[in-house]
Amino acid sequence: MSGKLIIISAPSGSGKSTLINHLVEKGFDFTFSISATSRAPRGKEQNGVEYYFLSLDEFRKAIEENRFLEYEEVYPGCFYGTLKEPIDNALKAGKNVILDIDVKGALNVKRLYPTLATTIFIQPPSVEALRERLIGRQTDSMEMIEKRVAKAAQEIAEANKFDVIIINDKLEQAQQDIVREVKSIIEA
């Protein structure tokens, strides 16, 4: 039997990584899709771990060769995309795959795999709460925070296009919700 695709999207600062880590701690057995990107590695990022880091030329060649399930220019000059081959291999091997991509990418993949894919949107309780979390994290300038908040507001406006919405207000509740939803997706 084919595995399932679980596509998780969330504005930055909505607690997505914490919730995905919780699923791993609960013992769910997933293959994580590793995206390709033309951006340079940050900090300790390694090729084939966080991303497959491609040059812009390599990325363009992969587009021409039709190797992407979906791709996007997320920031000007910075491409991100999901490669077809590893996803198809994992699904054929009966593995469940988690994709952590942005809203546009998520909705595109859902169109390609309408029955195998379930889209989950992690929603912060409010744009204001998100801004406070981003300020508290102390990793971005105020200018960058406002850019992220503006993108978040756009993404939240599309949340109703997702199969499942998890509101991450109280972490424990959100953890329970995501475990329940993912269980029902995998067992369906």
Q: How many residues does the chain have?
A: 188
124 contributes a contact to ligand 5GP by CB under 6 A: no
**Shortest gap between Cβ of 143 and ligand 5GP (angstroms)?**
16
Smallest distance from ligand 5GP to CB 127, Å: 16
Contact between 3 and ligand 5GP by CB under 6 A: the answer reads no
How buried is residue 133: exposed, middle or buried, by Cβ count under 10 Å (0-12/13-18/19+)?
middle
Neighbours of 35 (CB within 10 A): 20
Are 148 and 154 in contact by the 8 Å Cβ rule? The answer is no
- Using rule CB under 6 A, residue 84 touches ligand 5GP: no
Between 126 and 139, whose beta carbon lies closer to ligand 5GP? 139
Q: Does residue 105 belong to the site contacting ligand 5GP (CB under 6 A)? A: yes
Tokens of 108: 């595109």
Nearest residue to ligand 5GP, scored by beta-carbon proximity: 105
Q: Does 164 bind ligand 5GP (CB under 6 A)?
A: no
**Among 19-27, 52-60, 74-82, 134-142, which window interacts with ligand 5GP (CB under 6 A)?**
74-82
Q: Which two tokens stand for residue 27?
A: 């013992």
**Longest CA span, the chain:** 48
